[in-house]
Amino acid sequence: MSSTDDQNQPPRRFRTAFGVVTTRECLMTQLRQGELFVGPDGKTVYRVLTPCAKHPRGWLAVRNLSMTPAEAKRLKATPGAVEPGADPQEGVFTYRHPTTVHQIV
């Protein structure tokens, strides 16, 4: 994730759990529900659950699609790794805006 100065960069490719994906930079606030992007580690793929504009705090609610069911189960079984009743594959990005992300195209 970077500043808005990088928005007009050419497409980038990332090696993810889903193979190599092509991305374009866009503002995090422009992502819509269901869209996919590569996380800051350059490997994890996320699906937007709640866009920034619809979240009460302007956060981006996401689902980690790169985490396997076995990893999620292990985290749930690890004391303190996940809040009780929470889904370890779901979370939020709370970066200050403007922030760009690599949206999968």
State whether the Cα torsion 40-42-46-52 is positive or negative. Answer: positive
20-65 pLDDT, tens digit each: 999 999 999 999 999 999 999 999 999 999 999 999 999 999 999 9
Query: How many structural domains are present in the chain?
Result: 1
The pLDDT of residue 7: 53
Task: Tell me which residue range forms the domain holding 31.
Answer: 4-104
Burial bucket for residue 88 (CB in 10 Å: 0-12, 13-18, 19+): middle
